[in-house]
Amino acid sequence: MPGSRFYINKVTDKNNNKPIKMGGKNSEFTLRKDGNNTVVLNNSTVINGIKELLSGEFVCYGYKKTTKYLNIDI
């Protein structure tokens, strides 16, 4: 079977013929280490921090700078 054909086939539920979502569910929180403690943050807090960082003009941050910013400010 050619490789391009593999991606066309979708897994469907046999009862109602709807596609089945593959993979894990989205998380609702983020774990962050703060010294020896682990802090639980809501994902909306992290998303708002990323939006605030990237809302400036001429921002070209990669994931390393964004992670560093989030660890300092949130």
The span from the CA of 48 to the CA of 46, in Å, is 5
User: Among 58, 61, 37, 38, which residue's Cα sits nearest to residue 49?
Assistant: 61
Long-range contacts, stretch 36-39, CB < 8 angstroms, 24+ apart: none
Residue 24: which domain range? 3-73
**Structural domain count of the chain:** 1
pLDDT at 33: 85
For 23-73, how does the pLDDT look when each residue is reduced to its tens digit (9 = 90+)? 778 889 998 888 899 989 999 999 998 898 888 888 888 888 888 888 887
Q: How confident is the model at residue 8 (pLDDT cuts 50, 70, 90)?
A: low
pLDDT at 44: 92
51 φ/ψ angles, rounded to the nearest 5 degrees: -65, -40
User: Among 43, 57, 60, 58, which residue's Cα sits nearest to residue 70?
Assistant: 43
pLDDT at 42: 93
